[in-house]
Every structure is written in C-alpha cells, then in structure tokens.
Amino acid sequence: PVYRCCARSTVRVVLCSGNGTLLAPQRERLSKALASLLRHRCPPSIRSDGFILLDDLAAEMRCSPAVVAEVANAGSEEKRRFQLCSDLTGDGQTWVRATHGHSDPRIRADLLHSAILEPLELLVHG
C-alpha cells in the first residue's frame, strides 16, 4: 500500500502476483502517487521539461526503480500517463516524466511536446 508520511508518498509493502509483477490495485495506487509527485509535488531535481532520473524518483517514492518503471510503462500507448527515456543526456541513465497535467511552475509546457517539422498527409483529431 501507499502511505502518506511527512507529506510524501511512501511505499511500504508492494504485493505482487508471484511472477514479479504488481497486482492491479497496487499498480493503480502507485500510478496515482507517481502522477501526483511528478505533476504537483515535483522533487527539486526535476528538469524544466518534466524529466527526472528514474533512480532519483524511486528514492523519492521509497521503492525500487524496477517498480517505478513498471508503473510508468503500464497503460495503453494512447493514454500513456508517463514517458520513459533512456540516454536522454548521453550518460545511459533512464529518465521519467508525466506527459501532461503539471501544476508546478518550474515545468515548461512548451518542452513537454515534440514539434512536428514535416507536413502530414492526414491529421485526425479526436
């Protein structure tokens, strides 16, 4: 379960399905805690594009980087809440960020999206 301790989310015990993956209720709780942390209670080490080192985020959440990565990778491609990026700075480390919904003024919305530089044949919205 995820507990609040000193205004920080804390992971005490994460129950798994026996094959090393999180059960759906635990994944959902951790996903909400991760979203809250990345969107509204950003750690000091977060960059202006919303990325933070996976290891730093795991330490902030008091759980393993593998658990954070599993939660960040959960969900369909269309509704992905988080983005993982390897080798963002050329040092081989993994970075993670929330894809939308930031309220922290340090996060610049213009850096959250990639510019489309080539004209598209067809664009469908909705």
- The pLDDT value recorded for residue 18 is 46
- The pLDDT value recorded for residue 75 is 66
- Is the confidence at residue 4, as pLDDT, over 80? no
Q: How far is CA 62 from the centre of its chain?
A: 14
Local confidence band at 56 (pLDDT 50, 70, 90 cut-offs): very high
Nearest alpha-carbon partner for 23 in 56, 60, 70, 57: 70
Q: Between residues 71 and 2, which one has the greater pLDDT? A: 71
Q: Between residues 101 and 6, which one has the greater pLDDT? A: 101
Please tell me the pTM assigned to this model.
Answer: 0.69
- The pLDDT value recorded for residue 7 is 45
Pair 33, 95: CB distance under 8 Å: no
Looking at residues 20-26, what average pLDDT do you find?
Answer: 70
**Residue ranges per structural domain of the chain:** 2-111
Classify strands 82-86 and 2-5 as parallel, antiparallel or unpaired.
Answer: unpaired
Q: Between residues 17 and 111, which one has the greater pLDDT? A: 111
